[in-house]
Structures are given as C-alpha cells and as structure tokens.
Amino acid sequence: MDLYQVYFDLRPGVRDTTLVEGLERYLGHLREQGLIAGWRLTRAKLGFGLKGHGDWMLTIEVRDLAQLEAAFQQVAGRRDPVEGLHFGVNSLVANPVFALYRDFPDSVRHRGEERF
C-alpha cells in the first residue's frame, strides 16, 4: 500500500465540519471510481503535530503508484464532477505539504517473515 499524505492548515474562517463534508464528497467519489483504496483525516492533538506542517494530516491510500497515477490523471483533467469536488476541498486549506510513503517491508522485500 502506498500512502499519499497532505499536511495542512485550514484557511481562516473555515469550519472543520465543512472540511470533512468536502473530503467525504471528493474522496468518496474517487473511491467509488476505484481511483483510491481509502483515506483518513487526522488532526494534531494537544499541539503535538509536526512543526511547520499544519494541524491536519490527510492520508490517501492507494494500492500502488499505477492507481495513484490514474487518480492524478482524473483530477488533473479538470472535468466535472471531480473538478468541482477537488476545488471544494482545495479552497478550504492553506500551506499544504505533500509526502508519499509506502508500507515496509513491502511485497518485494517481505520474504515470509512475520510482520510486526
């Protein structure tokens, strides 16, 4: 599994529930289309977030880079309905920082040993 992560803050005046509703519509659409495996939204607790990376972390799960590329192609095409859904979320966030992680050991490096 590959994990596409976005760290960010909310723009001033944006309600946290508005963000959640927008993400449910946008990422729910991508999941229904088979373009992502799942997603999760988390928020720094008690100020224990990564300094300079915002209070929020969005993790989007994809099977592999091919699925991620398919999702990017769909979003980059800027066609509705995904364009409106993407803009609806993108307009709510400030200072995004992006990262890409993978499970380790992955299927290539995992040789039957027990995972922790």
Residue 113: is its pLDDT beyond 60?
no
For helices 82-90 and 65-76, the axis angle rounded to 10 degrees is 90
- How far apart, in Å, do the first and last CA atoms of the chain sit? 16
How confident is the model at residue 34, as a pLDDT? 97
How confident is the model at residue 8, as a pLDDT? 97
Residue 58: is its pLDDT beyond 80?
yes
CA-wise closest residue to 40 among 54, 49, 28, 32: 28
Contact 59, 38 (CB under 8 A): no
How confident is the model at residue 111, as a pLDDT? 61
How confident is the model at residue 37, as a pLDDT? 98
Q: What is the pTM of this model?
A: 0.87
For 48-52, 54-58, 73-77, which range has the lowest pLDDT when averaged over its residues? 48-52
CA-to-CA dists, residue 93 to 3, 26, 50, 57, 62, angstroms: 20, 14, 17, 11, 22
> Beta strand 2-10 with 93-102: parallel, antiparallel or unpaired?
antiparallel
Residue-wise pLDDT for 23-46, tens only, equals: 999 999 999 999 999 999 999 998
